[in-house]
């Protein structure tokens, strides 16, 4: 019985490590896209008209 406890415990630890690794390796959906500006440009800048 003790051997089975060690085997089951090792598998549980392995499964937890796999879950944490996959969660850490996956892309986050709430990450901010750095390529886009935080705020929209002003109305005059967007039209391309020179002032």
For 1-47, write each residue's pLDDT tens digit: 799 999 999 999 999 999 999 988 776 666 565 666 666 555 555 55
Q: What is the pLDDT of residue 45?
A: 56
Q: What is the pLDDT of residue 25?
A: 79
Distance CA 23, CA 13 (A): 15
C-alpha angle 33-35-36 in degrees, rounded to nearest 5:
80
pTM of the full structure: 0.48
Instruction: Assess whether pLDDT exceeds 60 at residue 51.
Output: yes
Q: What is the pLDDT of residue 1?
A: 79
Name, in order, each residue with C-beta under 8 angstroms of 44's C-beta and a sequence gap of 6 or more. 51
What tokens does 1 get? 């019985």
């Amino acid at each position: 019985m003790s051997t089975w406890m060690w085997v089951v415990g090792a598998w549980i630890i392995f499964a937890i490590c796999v879950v944490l690794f996959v969660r850490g390796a996956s892309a986050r959906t709430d990450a901010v896209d750095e390529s886009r500006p935080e705020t929209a440009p002003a109305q005059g800048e967007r039209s391309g008209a020179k002032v």
